[in-house]
Structure 1
């Protein structure tokens, strides 16, 4: 073998060894494409994370909407997975993972700042926490828990409830005596027992803003709503006690360009920085996955944030896998309940 050929063979062997040992990786792409849900949260992330990320790494962030499972499945079916990060709800994340549509996150490469343990899954990075909580008019008798909230005799008035089983059934089960710390696996019989009892006093809402508006218009006296729609309303009362803490997630679609995936891992590292998350909280009352956030948040608004320790400690974290595993049964019983009204 000639010396040039021998040298080439040696270099190829060295490259193979380094690649096998994980020392050779793709260079990050110069563009990172992300699918996001849009709205105020996305606007805040653009200001607080995307801008500094582009400046630091020279990688342009391109956003597109909508996000969600249907869009992910469509990309996979087309064979053109042109995004490296996607915004997914908890149940969507579990469904996508179960159907093999997500790559696992290389947490060793992300090297995140400290995160809540429930914010890290092999296939999901918790982007933001939000709560579903109880609210009521100031002239209504104040409930302290879900037993009282669903007690229409001692706490009279209409209830504005979400027309989504994932945001009402657990509370209804707690109202029947289920321990809030042991909600899952969810006892559907006890949940529907409560809803059957109160259905004559219920107004069902389908858009998040209605949870507060129905109270403000005095069409309902009590409501279940998403915290971001409730906590900034000074004319309403609310409580995080026994609230449901939920998460939106970053997932990495399987089949994306490896170079863009490398950029996505850098992006997740930056997103885990509590300073970036505190910046986001300046614009919207949802918080990220850092347990170091409280000192960095607006101190006059601490009680508005789902992950503020005082609020987090009195809530339970929803179980996305349970909802995915039992989706068919939940939907069947939900439709039967609604049709019978």
Structure 2
């Protein structure tokens, strides 16, 4: 059984601490100050205060700490403080109030478009990295495409070892009579609309623009059969491993992590997977803007992307880097050109996410 059909392995990542630390607290802890402007000498860099980076926590944050944050600090002397939990509302509030505490933020596709539309991020200097060397989909003016990830169907490879016992399409995931079992979908409207449309027979290439009413009608059919709507991205795999659910939407990187850590019996299918780019941006008005861009320059080096891919299985945005990924991981690495997959269209979500999130939350409790 190959990774193209269902790849075996995995459990959820250990949760990265949901630190509520803000810049003022971080400065007290680290003894820094904001009086001096950022310069490249390490002592003066420290005087500018720590670089506050916001990421999604879990295994990805651990990998970033290992191959990006710590090496960057060792190279430059610029300390980094991690905060888990990017939030578009907080990004907007900080920028619009002029009280910006974050420097660098990881953002998903829809937030890239929102940030560009409303001026939440600093423009990336042309000289920061060679844009011609990265995939076209990862080239934007106000953020850097960091890596490509995949979300797809996960299931227990012990309880459901034979094809036909587990879903290999979203129509089958929705078909509880053909394939009975406890199911889980993430507690968010983004991704679920797309999955619901594919489950209703819409080909991946025709999902956008989304027919919202059709998607909610499709969600109505599966709702009674969803045992849990997890919020943490890694939780579905832990629930499968604990025999609390059977089938779930989750990310390939979580499966890979648990396969490596514990040889966990969880499989993953790339069929009809959702493919997205995780972006990194510098906050508009970031207190340590120069240091933030220096970090982005470091993070966008091909060698750092390769090191990150070899830990997480997420795809680098440099096509030339693929050949340097560990061969055992290559079947797990997402490919934006994978046949039958759906590339998330963040532009479609621009101006719709807030309203549809409210509707989804109301629908969940109705």
1:326 pairs with 348, 352, 355, which one?
A: 352
Q: Distance in 1 between matches of 2:155 and 2:179?
A: 11
Question: What per-residue deviation string (whole Å, max 9, x for no partner) do you get for residues 192-233 of structure 1?
Answer: 222222222111232333312332333332211122223444
Is 1:45–2:64 an aligned residue pair? yes
Deviation of 1:303 after TM superposition, in Å, equals 2.1
Q: Distance in 2 between matches of 1:143 and 1:204?
A: 18
Q: Bigger radius of gyration, 1 or 2?
A: 1
What's the counterpart of residue 23 of structure 1? none
Is 1:335–2:361 an aligned residue pair? yes
SS for the counterpart of 2:62 is helix
Length-normalised TM-score, structure 1: 0.79
2:235 pairs with 200, 210, 213, which one?
A: 210
Question: What per-residue deviation string (whole Å, max 9, x for no partner) do you get for residues 91-119 of structure 1?
Answer: 33333333222222122443357211111
Q: Distance in 1 between matches of 2:321 and 2:176?
A: 38
Report 1:109-188 matches (<5 A).
Answer: 109-112=128-131, 114-138=133-157, 139-140=159-160, 141-188=165-212
What's the counterpart of residue 289 of structure 1? 317
Deviation of 1:55 after TM superposition, in Å, equals 5.5
Kindly indicate whether the alpha-carbon contact (under 8 Å) linking 2:54 and 2:102 is maintained by their aligned counterparts in 1: no
What's the counterpart of residue 250 of structure 1? 280
Deviation of 1:318 after TM superposition, in Å, equals 0.8
Deviation of 1:279 after TM superposition, in Å, equals 1.0
Kindly indicate whether the alpha-carbon contact (under 8 Å) linking 1:59 and 1:263 is maintained by their aligned counterparts in 2: no
Deviation of 1:332 after TM superposition, in Å, equals 4.2
Comparing 267-276 with 162-171, greater Cα deviation is found at 267-276
Report 1:211-250 matches (<5 A).
Answer: 211-231=236-256, 232-233=258-259, 234-250=264-280
CA 1:85 to 1:285, structure 2 compared with 1: closer, same or farther past 3 Å?
same
Q: Distance in 2 between matches of 1:200 and 1:55?
A: 52
What's the counterpart of residue 15 of structure 1? none
What's the counterpart of residue 329 of structure 2? 301
SS for the counterpart of 2:350 is helix
CA 1:104 to 1:146, structure 2 compared with 1: closer, same or farther past 3 Å?
same
Kindly indicate whether the alpha-carbon contact (under 8 Å) linking 2:110 and 2:350 is maintained by their aligned counterparts in 1: yes
Q: Distance in 2 between matches of 1:159 and 1:110?
A: 43
Higher relative contact order (CA 8 A, sep 6+): 2
Kindly indicate whether the alpha-carbon contact (under 8 Å) linking 1:272 and 1:290 is maintained by their aligned counterparts in 2: no
Deviation of 1:276 after TM superposition, in Å, equals 1.0
- Matched residue count: 310
Kindly indicate whether the alpha-carbon contact (under 8 Å) linking 2:129 and 2:300 is maintained by their aligned counterparts in 1: no
CA 1:292 to 1:221, structure 2 compared with 1: closer, same or farther past 3 Å?
same
Kindly indicate whether the alpha-carbon contact (under 8 Å) linking 2:298 and 2:304 is maintained by their aligned counterparts in 1: yes
Q: Structure 2 unaligned runs (5+)?
A: 1-37
CA 1:267 to 1:331, structure 2 compared with 1: closer, same or farther past 3 Å?
closer
Comparing 266-275 with 158-167, greater Cα deviation is found at 266-275
Q: Distance in 2 between matches of 1:222 and 1:149?
A: 8
Q: Distance in 2 between matches of 1:82 and 1:325?
A: 25
Deviation of 1:54 after TM superposition, in Å, equals 4.8
SS for the counterpart of 1:282 is helix
Q: Distance in 2 between matches of 1:273 and 1:313?
A: 29
Deviation of 1:275 after TM superposition, in Å, equals 1.7
